[in-house]
Chains A and B, each alone.
Chain A
Amino acid sequence: MTQSSSTSTGNLNRALLFFLIGTLLGLALGVGLHTAISGGFNTTYWMDIPSWMLGLLLGTLGFFYGLLGYYGIVRGLVFQVVGTLAGILLVSAIRAALGLSFFDPAKFGFHEGAWVFGALVGAVAFLAGVGALTDWWKWAKGEATSDHHEDVPGWRKYFGVSLDHKVIGIQYTVTSLLLLSVGGLFALLFRVELAESGLQFLTVLTPDQTAALNLYNSLMSLHGIVMIISILLGIAGVINYLVPLLIGAADMAFPRLNAFSFWVAVPAAVILLGSLGLGGFDTGWTGYAPLATRAPIGIQMFYLGVWVAGWSSILGALNLIATVLRMRARGMTAFRMPILVWASVATSIISLTATQLIGLSFQMSMFERLFGMPFFNVAKGGNPILFQHLFWFYSHPAVYVFVLPGLGVISELLPVFARKPLFGYRWVALSSIGIALVGFLVWAHHMFTSGMNEYLRVPFMYSTLLVAVPTGVKFFSWVATLWKGKIEAPTPMLFVLGGIVVFLMGGLSGPPNATVSTDLHLHDTYFIVGHFHSTMFGGYVFPFFAAIYYWFPKATGKRLDETLGKWHFWLMTPSFLVLTLFMMRVGLLGMRRRIADYDPMLGFDPWHLAMTIAAFLIALSVVIFFYNMVKTLRSPVTETGNVWNSRSPEWQVPSPMPAHNYEKEFEVVGEPYDYGLPGSVYVKM
């Protein structure tokens, strides 16, 4: 024990050292290249964002190398770097052979097509390097692979390909938290700029004002998309870890596909963040054409990163649906499935299908830039509104992808802590499917001011308002479940209750946006920003934290500290409420979204200052949460029993969960949420 922990601190020190070396090396390399390209050195080169990104890339690589040696993710990243260079050189060589220009100092040295192709090859190379393709290659050659997969013992298995859904669930969750931190950091940076009217902060980080504004736009855009990817990975983590346990399966239906789905998200994240090193982009996360056709080439990395990450969503959803349809325990009929399983299926229906359309819209915009295909260019018969239709056909339903699992977690935990049956189980189960299906028919409510055909407005207004019905069913059930319950409120329950309140605010601020007459005023203001932050915090962030606090003992055999958990909650909730309500207020008064500066005469300065402070408090609360995790994992105290006195099968076996889940298949013999009813049984182990 002491032996292994001392080697891992040794590794950690080495990792930090290598991180430093890698960062400095990358930075020096970047500055050196800049000097070589422009034929002279200038001290402002030390501020170059591309060089810093190169530094961060090599630093990260160094970090993992120091930690692990040449293994797993390190191999993947090395392959990705080499693959990217190979792709870039290949395209450049072909262009040179064809007599086309292949060197473009304005585009970081290479032609845009070379960058895009290189990044794509890099992503595939990553997957080959990390080992996510090995078994399939064997299958293609007709070789058999073992059914039973064993992992290397200890923590190293989390850094390489594992086929165990529990390992993959944790890999997803940790990656999600990492991206949450990165996205949060971006937000803090541009929130500081907004704290006061005028430009004062980002100009310090950049050589001139244009660069500062560009950095603002890039940070704002990346904040949005990094958070979205973080959410997608977070729900995948929750689903992956829990659904097989809840339905009594030994694993997901396709374990290799499952590993692939996780690992493909890693190069995607690298590409996405790489956009900052290639000039960033100024379109926001929506990437609308025609602005996108004029953005720096960072936008290509944004499009490509999202496209690659989309495969993670699509294939993960495919796996989940197959798992639930084929691998439920005996006796688990549809209406005895846990609500979280229903919600995961609903989410997956959307991810499986609609994701393809954001992929298509992004591809079309990429092709417009690369090959001049004028899909969105009016002068050549294109139609920019088409981009928005394709984009929102995914991106509206996607908001339900973000929240349905979270709402499922709420329904899952409430009965446990209210010690009462879930009110209206069947209705709640069906409401998830209802929301998902109606959610397919509302996308154009994002386009009321876009200039689309006017006759589309009213139908989309009504279909949008219709979503409130199944959503209302959930609220009704939650309130009725709490009613006269014997409520206990440890940290997970606090986050559940907080989530309900915050999601209610998000829900109530939705209909004004859905009503055409009011949306004409609200569109593209901070009111929208307030609206969607409430929905996503209430529907995802709060339930996600609730789920982590609740299932942490299951995964690790240790329980997170209650006091620190309460600090986390009581710091985050009021701060968030201040943030979102003030956003809505300044929005109503005319504050536009996605701008770096505002007129001091509007009188928004104090409100913005308060929002910036609130944002930092939220960040502080999350730091407390991270500290709590580290502290708990290091503490020797274990908690292996049914911590929350739950009826769910995963709590009927000791924690942490054994490698192959349940020793014997269990049988479902009753209703899942009959808490407090004497003599009722859900599963027979």
Chain B
Amino acid sequence: MTHAHTSQHAASHGSKDALFQGLVIFVLLAFLTAVEFFIAITNASVLLLSVAALLKVGMVVYYYMHIYKLLEEDDEHDHSSFAWKVATNRLGLWLFLLSDAFVFGGMFVARFNLLGFTRPHLNQELGLIVTSALLISSFFMNRGETQMALGDRKGFLISTSITFLLGLAFLLGVVFVEWPEAIHEGLTVDGSAAGGIFFLMTGMHAFHVLTGLIFLLVILRNGWLGLYSPERHWAVEAAAVYWHFVDVVWIFYYPALYLIGKAL
């Protein structure tokens, strides 16, 4: 039973095809992001922007976060087996993300309640740059997880380190470049509801990026020490799924803050 499970695990992960798939998905995501930006600076159609965001989220959730693993047949009855525990942990993680999604959903709705189809005056190019950093980091995260499943520890360490650096760049970019620039343009924390909601949304997201970075440090350290194996690396999977979730949130927040509606 356990054996069958492992080989199935390896089949979904453990081939060079998986690395290639990650790359294809990334190219599609990048393409959609470019299209999105083009829509925004031409007709800014809310419908088209929403479709683009939903497509991106669908791809990340399916291919990078491999949500389908939740449904994988698992007739393991031994509650102390590794296979059972991983399947249960995976369910727990997704329930947590569902819960967390409600906070982000709440802020998203609040943004439209307060601002309607207008948006704060922000630097769209800067938004595109930080978005790209996060998107590329997701690609490397997926690559790192796949490499771990293939037993390529060195590759895992490199990819995850790149993910970490890109994540850090995003965080620093938002906090030390984007925020001061917004304030400089008159969008202050306490000046208007638009400023309030902008700092709330980006701040809460940045906080999640920060926790994700800490999580990445943990798996980097433990991966470095050789505590993971191709069969047993639940922490790596968890960190990756969490990291992609933070990306998914940004896939919604980026258009909601930078692209949709008339600039104030």
Partners in one complex: yes
- Decide yes or no whether A204 CB sits under 8 A from chain B: no
Q: Which of B45-53, B97-105, B136-144, B240-248 contacts A (4 or more CB under 8 A)?
A: B97-105
Residue of B80, B84, B227 touching A142 (CB-CB under 8 A): B227
Q: B80 to chain A: closest CB distance in Å?
A: 6
Residues of B within 8 A of A375 (CB): 110, 114, 193, 196-197, 200
**Could you tell me which residues of chain A, from 267 to 321, have a CB within 8 Å of some CB in chain B?**
314, 318-319, 321
Residues of B within 8 A of A147 (CB): 80
16 A-B pairs with C-beta separation under 8 A: A253-B88, A257-B92, A318-B95, A325-B91, A352-B98, A357-B103, A360-B107, A364-B110, A372-B190, A373-B197, A374-B190, A375-B193, A380-B191, A380-B192, A381-B114, A390-B110
Contact between chains at B227 and A352 (CB < 8 Å): no
Residues of A within 8 A of B113 (CB): 383, 386, 389
CA distance A371 to B200 in the complex (A): 11
Q: B8 to chain A: closest CB distance in Å?
A: 18
* Given A372-B190, A373-B199, A386:B98 Cβ within 8 A: no
Residues of B within 8 A of A141 (CB): 222
Q: A660 to chain B: closest CB distance in Å?
A: 12
- Decide yes or no whether A632 CB sits under 8 A from chain B: no
Contact between chains at A322 and B92 (CB < 8 Å): yes
CA distance A250 to B192 in the complex (A): 54
Chain A residue at smallest Cβ distance from B113? A386
* Given A357-B106, A364-B110, A390-B106, A381:B99 Cβ within 8 A: no
CA distance A389 to B114 in the complex (A): 12
CA distance A319 to B95 in the complex (A): 9
**Could you tell me which residues of chain B, from 200 to 235, have a CB within 8 Å of some CB in chain A?**
200, 218, 221-222, 225, 227, 235
- Decide yes or no whether B79 CB sits under 8 A from chain A: yes
Per-residue CB proximity of A458-489 to B under 8 Å, as 1/0? 00000000000000000000000000000000
A361, A375, A383, A393 — which one has the most chain B CB atoms within 10 A of its CB? A375
CA distance A520 to B98 in the complex (A): 37
- Decide yes or no whether A680 CB sits under 8 A from chain B: no
Interface residue ranges, B against A (CB under 8 Å): 77, 79-80, 84, 87-88, 91-92, 95-96, 98-100, 102-103, 106-107, 110, 113-114, 189-197, 199-200, 218, 221-222, 225, 227, 235
Interface residue range, chain A: 35 or more
4 smallest CB-CB distances across A and B, nearest first, come from A372-B190, A373-B196, A381-B193, A356-B102
- Decide yes or no whether A331 CB sits under 8 A from chain B: no
Residues of A within 8 A of B195 (CB): 373
- Decide yes or no whether A108 CB sits under 8 A from chain B: no
Contact between chains at B193 and A382 (CB < 8 Å): yes
Given contact pairs A253-B92, A373-B200, a sample of 5 additional A-B residue pairs in the complex whose CB atoms are under 8 Å apart: A322-B91, A326-B84, A352-B98, A352-B99, A386-B114
**Could you tell me which residues of chain A, from 228 to 255, have a CB within 8 Å of some CB in chain B?**
250, 253-254
Per-residue CB proximity of A139-166 to B under 8 Å, as 1/0? 1111000010000000000000000000
Q: B187 to chain A: closest CB distance in Å?
A: 12
